[in-house]
Amino acid sequence: MSIERISEEGLARLAELLRALAHDLRLRLIDALRVRGELSVGELEAETGIAQPTLSQQLAILRKADLVRTRKAAKQVYYSIAPEAFAQVAGFLGGLAATDESSAAPTASSKNRGAAAMFARLL
């Protein structure tokens, strides 16, 4: 099976998505949306315990990365996950998880076993 390289543009987009996800509060928001589905700002605040100013800031980052969708109804703004953005991340990470172990570099644990054996011989 042949694995294709990701274009420079694709890598830049993937890095943007991963940066946006690499924060505990944003992950908490994404998890709430994953479990509960579409939520208003007030519901997200109640669900996650994230205070309004911080919540708005974190939602803005997720919106900018196109990781969430918004829908406005009267004065309420509702948020939901944008599955197409997560499909890119999942495809990349899934590809990493599915790599053939025989071609992979030695793991840290296998390196440490060798180091432990060398240390034992020195004693």
Q: Tell me what pLDDT residue 109 has.
A: 52
Distance, in Å, from the CA atom of 84 to the CA atom of 86, rounded to the nearest integer, reads 5
Domains of the chain, by residue range, sit at 8-98
| Radius of gyration of the chain, Cα coordinates, nearest whole angstrom | 21
- Per-residue pLDDT of 5-52, as tens digits, reads 889 999 999 999 999 999 999 999 999 999 999 999 999 999 999 999
What value, to the nearest 5°, has the Cα angle with vertex 11 and ends 30 and 16? 35
- Per-residue pLDDT of 101-122, as tens digits, reads 545 455 555 455 554 444 444 4
Q: Tell me what pLDDT residue 106 has.
A: 52
CATH entry 1.20.1300.10 includes domain 8-98: no
Say what the pTM is: 0.74
Q: Tell me what pLDDT residue 3 has.
A: 77
